[in-house]
Structure 1
């Protein structure tokens, strides 16, 4: 099963392997443009030999009422590797849910898997009751049950959805998809593609072991990442067992090319649903980073031959003009074995040109998002008055049952929550004290503004995010407004870190939930 490193939940499951919406044909935001998606119907039952059906190509689901069914299937990653997976509607990634800003959307989720599940709307400010965290906002959806999520799509942008029940395991097995909210006054593009990044194991049985006590080390995948290993109670655990990197559930030549025509404006939505950071290089074209985590950047400047670093849970929208006919690559840089499979061809229709060559080890600079775009005054500043200030020291330690990941020396649920009232302005200092671990920190239900990095104020566009990656030794200050009452998780999106303790909550003092968890119900496993 996918990267199935099922040890104990607390120190156990490695990896977030996720990914999402596969727009096999371009989905255009222009009315009347051909959106010829593969609408093949999937066979949900096992065949006569008892084997699972093959996962189908991902669809795009539109409208105000969406039906999802969680079920098992087999995913053909390349011409050699086929893995058993969990799916939404028989595909990995699951369907792309594409709605209009202002729509009230109902998503009916039926569970045909052998274990409880949920959906969390990653990055989206849904009402707290719809956040999909078992034991915090709802009970997990048991096998055979159906649950309906309902929310109004108020904020446009690129988001994704995934299970939050034993998420280090279930997201790893394929329970994810993308959510696109189209703005009312959308700037038109000719092609709109979504690419989701993930990592898989071609021989998962090698990873089916007790992972207690492991140090996952630095999961940054890029130039100079020469320490991709883990330490299990003194044993070295080679991260190269994650030997297949994918785009939309496919690797290498199985990844479908992105078709463009000369002169077209092309948007690519990049979603990292895995647990490693990936550095991507767009060959042959200038591009702009127009949004991060769904939020637009102010006056982004064209850049070329710079790497875009995408951490777990993050999203980046890039745009370029197809003005250089030929066959080009968007490829992952780095020295891990799987990097070779994480690339996609960009092919011009009706134009001749030279074929591009891969060069995953080319030494290129990484885009500095703290100085990218044009500076302007954001909603928050470093020196204004805040109602609540909180320091979050992120650490790694050895617990009695193995490695733990801590916030201010504690593991969830013993971590101190951020207690707020509606309308409060909150400033949070995040410090990564772990010696080797990356911590992509994700806040549910809110967006925050990044104010400074390592003591230096942000000098580019206001940076509004819901997921922020901290490398060892880094310090960021972020701010947000308490404008969405509820009890909200704030956790590391390297999901095995969350399952081993790196979680706290933003708790509204004046919020009364309609949901009361049953302390005797052991079904709910929020990480």
Structure 2
């Protein structure tokens, strides 16, 4: 392992002077996030059995501009918390704000009353008070933490967690960097939300134009009319865009361009964390392949790709081996391609490489409308399940025949509640996907034709056999619904404040859950306190995740073992979607109490 002292000794005076401006901008960043980092293993942040965290208002500097934020221990992003599997940790969180706050340990398997969701698992941390979280650390890997109070997460209240395995991995790379992606706006988050309520596409500056249609860049007139009848814009891929956001790597804007160091020829682990409020990122290092070795903290059989889409709240560990003595750009392009986060991997401080241009913006398609079977020429489109999977999954197309339909035929069926008996008739339901299809074998919006290898969920195979391989006891179907005109989001047409009963499970019950996205935007769905196994044809080595992106007009099926008694948040991790109602409670009751 290269030490900070050894690394500094390799730099000449010119290198240090060239880096001076960037390092000055890093002064308020936590040590792990400062530009020119030699790696987090050489720079532990906070660790041990007793950890103190103080939430407070502060300023941060992004691309030379001072901005208001909420941070922890005087820094944004918050300090890296480094733990070890098997320890018991006490985290003393002081709330120095004049409003309630909280910390949720995203992806960590903790007792429900330590999960950190006000109104669900605990009362919250009152202003000017301290709350102590205490729990055993049951896992290893890459995780993160953030506020679950109001919109504080958007203001900077987030940070990474790295948990070392109880038994050190002798084959682990010598160097590792956390790559924490986020989005920041100078607008107050409540102002952003108010503008979205006034007009769902307020921040979409990439609308279709007549010039684009004539140039062949936009959709044909017939498809545009169909979208118009639904009062939707196929260019509306992201709710909040670079019109207001600056996209960050470890708290640094594209001009600051955070730099992580490497020695040519060494293996480097990049711990990718999407800590953004609203942004799905497409991540690549032009000229450098990535080998994906973990998702949501858990080990995978290695798979090598050139690009991956990381949804809000997901984490991936990738290994790169930069052989050349040159700088590599780390590009995290927003899904709508309105902007990018940008960083550098380099052998020396001060080295940079030019950022690639933004690629043409994607447009939503018939599949994104929920017309996937029509787009595929008819027939059911289901994942490569084995027979048991297929029997359990049932028909995912709602009984609609796909072949021979014309574009106009969909108009009468876009709110066909007979196709979705689980869905409540409410203003929250603008459309119901007539023909949703499983899209876990696709790379994500705009990535189908990029000309290189892109990760899909079906590429993920768990390194270890799943701990529970029982067949499901029952099946549950949940619709993701929304109304872009009124900016309302929900599960099954019911917002959180309208729900009369939670999703109820018995302890250790095995349930197959199918999520159906009736909207034309992707939703990263997160279940607290549990992992689930994606049904993608890998049997006992199905990938285990706690957050999954459900593509527009698509479905995702997973098997859940409800093994954690208590009340747990279940929500879309798009912050403003959750704030607008796309959240419910999952309750797991001990055997003998019965289920609702």
TM range, normalised to the smaller chain? 0.7 to 0.9
Aligned twin of 1:339? 339
Instruction: Check 1:125–1:215 CA distance in 2 against 1; reply closer, same or farther (3 A cut).
Output: same
Deviation per residue, 1:455-495 (Å, 9 max, x gap) = xx359963111110111111111012122111111110012
- Using the TM superposition, give the Cα deviation of residue 26 of structure 1 relative to its aligned residue in structure 2, in angstroms: 3.5
RMSD: 3.4
Count matched residues: 443
Q: Give the drift of 1:36.
A: 4.5
Counterpart selection for 2:514 from 407, 422, 429: 429
Taking a change above 3 Å as real, the CA distance of residues 73 and 334 of structure 1, as seen in their structure-2 partners, is closer
| Aligned residue among 135, 140, 163 for 1:181 | 163
Cα distance in structure 2, aligned partners of 1:337 and 1:76: 24
TM-score (norm 1): 0.76
User: Could you give the per-residue CA deviations for residues 491-513 of structure 1, whole angstroms, max 9, x where no partner exists?
Assistant: 1001211122211222122299x
- Cα distance, 1:63–1:329 mapped onto 2, change above 3 Å: same
Q: What residue is the counterpart of 1:411 in the other structure?
A: 495
Tell me, yes or no, if the aligned pair for 1:276 and 1:312 is still in contact at 8 Å: yes
Conserved? CA contact 1:136–1:487, under 8 Å: yes
Tell me what 1:358 maps to: 356
Q: Which structure carries more helix by proportion? A: 2
Q: Distance in 2 between matches of 1:507 and 1:22?
A: 37
For the structure 1 residues 157 and 330, does the alpha-carbon distance in structure 2 shift closer, same or farther, using more than 3 Å as the test? same
In 2 relative to 1, CA 22–353 (structure 1 residues): closer, same or farther, beyond 3 Å?
A: closer
Counterpart position of 1:76: 61
- Structure 1 distance, partners of 2:286, 2:318, is 13
1:210 to 1:20, Cα distance in 2 relative to 1, 3 A: farther
Q: Does 1:271 align with 2:279?
A: no
TM-score (norm. length: structure 2): 0.68
Give the 3 Å change call, closer, same or farther, for CA 287–356 of structure 1 in structure 2: same
1:296 and 2:299 aligned: yes
Report the Cα distance in structure 1 between the residues aligned to 2:571 and 2:351, rounded to whole angstroms: 47
Q: Does 1:450 align with 2:453?
A: no
Query: What is the correspondence of 1:86-235 to structure 2 with a 5 Å cutoff?
Result: 86-166=70-150, 169-187=151-169, 188-202=172-186, 207=192, 209=194, 211-215=196-200, 227-228=235-236
Q: From the superposition, tell whether residues 378 and 21 of structure 1 become closer, same or farther in structure 2 (CA, over 3 Å).
A: farther
Q: Does 1:392 align with 2:391?
A: no
Residue 518 (structure 1) aligns with: none
**1:369 is the counterpart of 2:457:** yes
Structure 2: distance between partners of 1:128 and 1:420 = 15
Larger radius of gyration: 2
Select which of 272, 279, 283 maps to 1:280.
283
Alpha-carbon spacing, 1:339–1:461, altered in 2? closer, same or farther (3 Å): farther
Report if aligned partners of 2:32, 2:40 keep a CA contact under 8 Å in 1. Answer: no
Residues 228 and 239 of structure 1 are in contact (CA less than 8 Å); yes or no, is this contact kept in structure 2? no
- Residue 515 of structure 1 corresponds to none
- Structure 2's unaligned 5+ residue stretches are 1-28, 207-216, 219-232, 361-449
Are 1:440 and 2:524 matched, yes or no? Answer: yes
1:522 match: none
Aligned to 2:583: 503
Match of 2:49 in 1: 64
Correspondence for 2:258: 256
The CA deviation string for residues 80-135 of structure 1, in whole angstroms up to 9 with x for no partner, is x2211111111111001001111100000111112110111111111001011111
Q: Deviations over 1:241-299 (max 9, x none)?
A: 2241111111123132111002222111111111111101112223211111111112x
**470 and 218 in structure 1: CA distance in 2 versus 1, 3 angstrom threshold:** farther
Matched, 1:242 2:244: yes
As a proportion of its length, which structure holds more strand? 1
Q: Is there any run of 5+ residues in structure 1 with no aligned partner, and where? A: 1-18, 30-34, 38-59, 231-236, 513-527
The verdict on how the C-alpha distance between 1:370 and 1:337 changes in structure 2, with shifts beyond 3 A counting, is closer
Distance 1:68 1:170, change over 3 A: same
- Other-structure match for 1:309: 309
**Paired residue secondary structure (2:155):** coil
Instruction: Decide whether aligned partners of structure 1 residues 334 and 483 sit closer, same or farther in structure 2, where only a CA change above 3 A counts.
Output: closer
